[in-house]
Amino acid sequence: MADDTSTQRKKRSNSPKAPGIALSDAVADVGKIFQRYGHATFTRGEMAAALNMSSSGGAFLSRAAALRDYDLIEETPLGAKASELFKRIYQAPPSSAELKRLALHAMRSPSVYGRLLQQFTTRIPDTAALALRLEAQDRFNGERAKTVADAFRSSLAAYGLIDAAGNFLPPRDEDAASEQESREERLATTAEGPPLQDSFRVEVPLGPGRRAVVILPEDIAEADVVRISTVLKGFVQ
């Protein structure tokens, strides 16, 4: 009987695969690797060297697995390299809607995280409650459940995807639209010399997600239109 109990505990100790570090820490790790190797591929030993870790140590193997789980590095026939998802996260403006969307995409990559996000769509429970859920439904052992739950919740908080109470704050399309309009406003109002007087703004739709913004003088004449058309044609010839 004792042997059977021991065997059951041993089986229970092997928790499912899931990141044990926050997404922000994983991005910082790949950032170190990317700064050293750029777009080139790298070996496991080179990856460990960039992180100042031993390539044969359990800590490094667990860390490397987390980076893959978040889809921040990818394998190629020539070795590993920074993924396109990482590069987009790395270049996204801080606190932007774009960064939130990319972070949420990375969070959905690990299957355990993806199931949690599907289950808790409006409010994320606290770390203790998440850990209990991981133990009961995903068969994590207690210690690992707490580590994964903390990494999951910390990841959401770091990218502004939950508030202090755990309410889910998904990235909104209007945030991205507002950012685009702000960029266009800055471009439209930035010019050499003083601001134009007695002018008006024209927006020309070009297709889905594309438009041209032009500032024209109120006394525009037909000859002015011909001149503008000639200038614009020069960009496509």
Contact status, residue 15 vs residue 144, Cβ threshold 8 Å:
yes
HEC-encoded secondary structure of 29-58 = HHHHHHHHHCCCCECHHHHHHHCCCCCCCH
* Residues with Cβ within 8 Å of residue 1, at least 6 apart in sequence: none
Which amino acid belongs to residue 15? Answer: S
SS3 76: strand
Q: What is the pLDDT along the chain (237 residues), one digit of tens a residue?
A: 445 544 444 444 578 999 999 999 999 999 999 999 999 999 999 999 999 999 999 999 999 999 999 999 999 999 999 999 999 999 999 989 999 999 999 999 999 999 999 999 999 999 999 999 999 999 999 999 999 999 999 999 999 999 999 999 988 764 455 555 566 555 555 544 444 556 677 777 776 667 777 787 777 888 878 887 877 776 665
Distance of alpha carbon 24 from alpha carbon 122, whole angstroms: 22
Distance of alpha carbon 33 from alpha carbon 31, whole angstroms: 5
* Domain residue extents for the chain: 2-158, 199-237
Question: CA neighbours within 13 Å on the CB side: how many for 131?
Answer: 14
The strand pairing partners of 45, in sequence order, are none
DSSP codes joined into one string, 78-98: TEEEE-HHHHHHHHSPTT-HH
62-84 pLDDT tens trace: 999 999 999 999 999 999 999 99
Does the pTM surpass 0.95? The reply is no
pLDDT of residue 192: 45
Distance of alpha carbon 165 from alpha carbon 47, whole angstroms: 37
196-206 pLDDT tens trace: 556 677 777 77
